Structures are given as structure tokens and as C-alpha cells.
């Protein structure tokens, strides 16, 4: 679905009293710019950090914190009943405790208590508070009730502390809200699973300034990591060249440059992975010789005009072979990607079917590319091909929505337990 084909969705942005409340301003703007109707419901403590005027200006709606404001409009019931999604960012430890207790003593908690739409809670607090048994028990309770509690990001907190507890970036939260609006529940049922994802393009150096490479933004791989991490998995991304993308909360990124470096990293991590997803655009060939100094026109004409290439390892096929050889657990699920164009011989889908058979992976996500499709775009679509011949059409959606579909297909494939 592209932006604004439908009437605006009604999204409530709840804000509780933490320093990260300022990031809620960016979230409101992101959702508004996508055409959604956004109302901000702060707690009274949140207004110690960001003024009501800011939220009113950004959302275009009045702001209230108490059930005793605008009583004639029965706001404490109506907002929750009419909402398509509620996102609370930041959610403090105290706010989550109040949600667990079913309190309704301010407009935000009353709204959540009434709502039947998806509720997304983005916690932000100091690491000690996040790791406290009381908070963790509250998070478990909220998740068991179907509330989507996002993983906090890891990094610099207020003051000099670092650790888990940061609010993810507004754009990341907005993407997850859209995934929930598209009907994905994001259950926290991948806890205990390890997921390895390759993303981005590899670069094969010819000399210190020139390289051969594949175009890839890395967005689909990072979106997969984001969804897997919020479903509780431990995620490692092996990233080649990508756009400047925020690290998904709860994921670790290992940077590589060339296909051979990517292959070595995958080899290192594959043994401990339950699910391996290869979304990287790996350069199939590399220059046979890599010059240590910049090649010069004139002096090095022959080296520049005709570059001898050698084939790179096929990381996906090699990983499948390692599984067949018993070096990886037989239960390891391996998913590949294929960016295809149709030609006079075969359609894009037929090329993908042949590729799935050739590579031997369990699932292959095929996108049809060309004429501005897919590369660097925030949306994607295609077919998901399973080794048993099933073909599932993946409708156009954000790369996060497509990621959620792919992980749902992994759920269908086999029990990983």
C-alpha cells in the first residue's frame, strides 16, 4: 500500500514523563507526514519535558492529560474506541506498571484500557530500571496481553550511562506502528532464537579508490533484523555497504567490505544461528588483482581498460552445502533473496524458481527489479517461494511489512524448537 490510498488512520501517540519525550515530536511529525491523523495524549509528567503547545502544533489537535478535560466529548472513552493504533513513546517504567494494573486515572491509561486496536509500547529508561525484575515482569505481562512492547535501543542514556534503555529513533518506531497497522501482531515468540542476516552490497576493490559493487540500500536486511529483534530474537547483521541506517534495537552489526569478508563472517556465525537470511547483494566477481596504489590513466591503461575477474564464493549456496554436510544443524533455516528481471526466455518468477532449486535454500524472496523498482525504495513486493513449490504473493508494503511476512513464512515452515 502506498501512502494515503486510504483515509487517514487515527493514531494516538501517548507520551509519558521521560527525557526521551522530545523524540515523540519527531514521531508525531513522521506519522503526520505519512498522512495519518495523530492525536497526542501526554501524561501530566510528560508536559514537564515538552509543552502542550508543541504537541498541539505538530498534531493539529488540542492536547489533554486528564479525563476531566473536554468531558462533554467523553474523550476518555472515545479516543480509545476510535483509534486505529496507539503508540506510547516513551513509556516509562511507571507508565508500564500502571498499564499492567489496569489503572485509568489519567487520559492516556483510560484510553489504553478502552482500546481494542494494536497498542505499541516503546520503553525508555535507565538500564537498571529496565533490567529490574519488576519492570521485566510488567513487560512480560503486557506482551502476554497482546501489547507490542518494543525492545529499547542500546546506547548512550541521559548523563554518562550507556546500556539498553534508549528510545529507538522516531522513524524506527513509526515503521513498527505501520507494521502493526498492516495487521502484524509482532509476538515476542522468537526469544531464545538466533538470527543471522546479511545486508547491503559488497565492494570488491580494484585499487584504493575504485571498486566493483552491487547496488543495495541494505534497508530490507535491516528491516528483517528490526522485526526479528522485536520478536525477541538475538540478531547479528553482517552488513556490507548500506545507506546510513539506524542499528535495530537489540541487534548487533558487523561491518564487512568484500564478498570474501562477508563469507568469512557468515561462516563464523552460522553455526550458532537458527535462521539465516541472506538479503545482501553480493558481487559475483572480483578483480583478480587489487593494486596497492591508485591505477593511473596512461600508465596503467591496460589494467583499467580490461579488468580480469575471478568468481567470488556463493555464500548462500555454500551455507546450504555446509548444512547438508552436517556442519550446521539440520534444523537451521536458510532464506535467500533474488532481485530478478524477466527476459525473452523466462519471467522474473521463473528465474527465481530456477534460482531456488540451484541454491537449495528453504525460502527465496523474489523481487522484480528495474525501472526504479525496489532499490533504495521504502516499499517492496514480490513472491515468496518455498522449497516445496509453494508460491506466496507478497503484496506491496513497506520493507518492514515485507519483513514481517517473511518471518511469518518462517514460522509456517517448521517449528524451530
What is the set of active-site residues? Answer: 214
The count of other CB atoms within 10 Å of the CB of residue 356 is: 21
In what helix (H) or strand (E) does residue 355 lie, and over which residues does it extend? helix 348-359
Quick one: which segment of 45-53, 125-133, 168-176, 276-284 binds ligand CTP (CB under 6 A)? 276-284
Interacting residue with ligand CTP among 179, 316, 363, 409 (CB under 6 A): 316
DSSP secondary structure of 301-342 = HHHHHS--EEEPP-HHHHHHHHHHTTSS-TT-EEEEEEEE--
Quick one: which segment of 57-65, 72-80, 312-320, 388-396 binds ligand CTP (CB under 6 A)? 312-320
Q: How far apart are the first and last CA of the chain?
A: 34
Contact (CB, 8 A) for 278 and 237? no
The answer to whether 337 is annotated as binding is yes
Interacting residue with ligand CTP among 93, 223, 227, 280 (CB under 6 A): 280
Q: How far apart are CA 348 and CA 329, in angstroms?
A: 32
The answer to whether 168 is annotated as binding is no
As measured in angstroms, the least distance from the Cβ of 113 to ligand CTP is 45
The answer to whether 359 is annotated as binding is yes
Q: Is 360 left (phi over 0), alpha (psi -120 to 50) or beta?
A: left
Residue nearest to ligand CTP (CB): 315
Question: DSSP E strands: which ranges in 174-306?
Answer: 194-199, 203-205, 211-213, 234-239, 251-255, 275-278, 285-287
Quick one: which segment of 127-135, 152-160, 279-287, 301-309 binds ligand CTP (CB under 6 A)? 279-287
Q: How many amino acids of this chain bind ligand CTP (CB under 6 A)?
A: 14
Q: How far apart are CA 102 and CA 255, in angstroms?
A: 44
Establish if 385 lies at the interface with ligand CTP (CB under 6 A).
no
As measured in angstroms, the least distance from the Cβ of 369 to ligand CTP is 10
72 secondary structure, DSSP code: G
Interacting residue with ligand CTP among 18, 336, 382, 397 (CB under 6 A): 336
As measured in angstroms, the least distance from the Cβ of 169 to ligand CTP is 26
Spatial CB neighbours of 48, under 8 Å, sequence gap ≥ 6: 17
The answer to whether 399 is annotated as binding is no
Establish if 261 lies at the interface with ligand CTP (CB under 6 A).
no
> In this structure, are strands 363-368 and 333-340 parallel, antiparallel, or unpaired?
parallel
Establish if 410 lies at the interface with ligand CTP (CB under 6 A).
no
Establish if 366 lies at the interface with ligand CTP (CB under 6 A).
no
Spatial CB neighbours of 51, under 8 Å, sequence gap ≥ 6: none
> In this structure, are strands 194-199 and 234-239 parallel, antiparallel, or unpaired?
parallel
As measured in angstroms, the least distance from the Cβ of 342 to ligand CTP is 12
Nearest of 224, 319, 212, 320 to residue 263 by alpha carbon: 319
As measured in angstroms, the least distance from the Cβ of 241 to ligand CTP is 14
As measured in angstroms, the least distance from the Cβ of 352 to ligand CTP is 8
Nearest of 415, 414, 353 to residue 384 by alpha carbon: 353
The answer to whether 307 is annotated as binding is no
Interacting residue with ligand CTP among 24, 28, 148, 315 (CB under 6 A): 315
Q: How far apart are CA 167 and CA 151, in angstroms?
A: 9
Interacting residue with ligand CTP among 269, 314, 322, 379 (CB under 6 A): 314
Residue 320: all three cell numbers together: 546450504
The answer to whether 315 is annotated as binding is yes
Establish if 337 lies at the interface with ligand CTP (CB under 6 A).
yes
Task: Name residues contacting ligand CTP, limited to 12-51 (CB under 6 A).
Answer: none
Establish if 282 lies at the interface with ligand CTP (CB under 6 A).
yes
Interacting residue with ligand CTP among 56, 84, 267, 284 (CB under 6 A): 284
Spatial CB neighbours of 288, under 8 Å, sequence gap ≥ 6: 307, 308, 309, 310
Task: Name residues contacting ligand CTP, limited to 177-236 (CB under 6 A).
Answer: 198
Establish if 312 lies at the interface with ligand CTP (CB under 6 A).
yes
> What residue ranges bind ligand CTP (CB under 6 A)?
198, 259, 278, 280, 282, 284, 312, 314-316, 336-339
Tell me the binding residues: 284, 294, 313-316, 337, 355, 359
Q: Which residues are annotated as a binding site for CTP?
A: 284, 294, 313-316, 337, 355, 359
Amino acid at each position: 500500500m502506498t501512502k494515503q490510498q486510504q483515509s487517514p488512520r487515527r493514531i494516538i501517540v501517548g507520551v509519558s514523563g521521560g527525557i526521551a519525550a522530545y523524540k515523540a515530536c519527531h514521531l508525531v511529525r513522521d506519522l503526520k507526514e505519512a498522512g495519518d491523523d495523530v492525536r497526542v495524549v501526554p501524561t501530566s509528567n510528560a508536559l514537564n519535558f515538552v509543552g502542550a503547545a508543541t504537541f498541539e502544533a505538530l498534531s493539529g489537535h488540542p492536547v489533554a492529560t486528564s479525563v476531566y478535560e473536554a468531558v462533554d466529548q467523553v474523550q476518555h472513552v472515545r479516543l480509545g474506541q476510535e483509534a486505529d493504533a496507539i503508540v506510547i513513546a516513551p513509556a516509562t517504567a511507571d507508565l508500564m506498571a500502571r498499564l499492567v494494573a489496569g489503572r485509568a486515572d489519567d487520559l492516556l491509561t483510560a484510553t489504553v484500557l478502552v482500546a481494542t486496536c494494536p497498542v505499541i509500547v516503546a520503553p525508555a529508561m535507565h538500564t537498571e530500571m529496565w533490567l529490574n525484575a519488576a519492570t521485566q515482569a510488567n513487560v512480560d505481562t503486557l506482551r502476554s496481553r497482546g501489547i507490542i512492547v518494543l525492545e529499547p535501543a542500546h546506547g548512550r542514556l541521559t548523563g554518562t550511562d550507556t546500556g539498553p534503555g534508549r528510545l529507538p529513533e522516531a522513524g524506527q518506531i513509526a515503521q513498527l506502528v505501520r507494521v502493526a497497522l498492516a495487521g502484524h501482531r509482532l509476538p515476542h515468540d522468537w526469544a531464545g532464537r538466533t538470527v543471522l542476516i546479511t545486508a547491503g552490497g559488497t565492494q570488491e576493490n580494484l585499487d584504493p579508490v575504485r571498486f566493483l559493487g552491487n547496488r543495495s540500500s541494505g534497508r530490507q536486511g535491516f528491516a528483517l533484523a528490526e522485526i526479528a529483534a522485536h520478536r525477541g530474537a538475538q540478531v547479528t547483521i553482517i552488513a556490507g555497504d548500506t545507506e546510513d541506517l539506524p542499528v535495530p534495537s537489540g541487534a548487533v552489526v558487523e561491518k564487512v567490505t568484500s564478498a570474501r569478508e562477508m563469507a568469512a563472517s557468515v561462516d563464523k556465525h552460522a553455526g550458532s544461528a537458527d535462521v539465516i537470511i541472506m538479503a545482501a547483494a553480493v558481487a559475483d566477481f572480483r578483480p583478480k588483482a587489487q593494486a596497492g596504489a591508485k591505477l593511473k590513466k596512461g600508465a596503467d591503461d591496460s589494467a583499467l581498460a580490461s579488468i580480469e575477474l575471478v568468481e567470488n564464493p556463493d555464500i548462500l549456496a555454500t551455507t546450504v552445502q555446509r548444512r547438508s554436510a552436517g556442519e550446521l544443524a539440520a534444523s537451521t533455516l536458510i532464506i535467500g533473496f533474488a532481485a530478478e528481471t524477466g527476459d525473452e526466455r523466462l519471467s522474473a518468477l521463473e528465474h527465481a524458481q530456477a534460482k531456488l532449486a540451484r541454491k537449495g535454500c528453504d525460502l527465496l524472496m523474489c523481487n522484480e527489479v528495474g525501472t526504479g523498482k525496489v532499490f533504495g525504495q521504502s516499499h517492496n513486493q514480490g513472491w515468496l517461494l518455498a522449497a516445496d513449490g509453494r508460491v506466496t504473493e507478497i503484496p506491496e508494503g513497506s520493507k518492514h511489512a515485507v519483513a514481517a511476512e517473511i518471518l511469518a513464512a518462517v514460522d509456517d515452515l517448521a517449528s524451530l524448537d
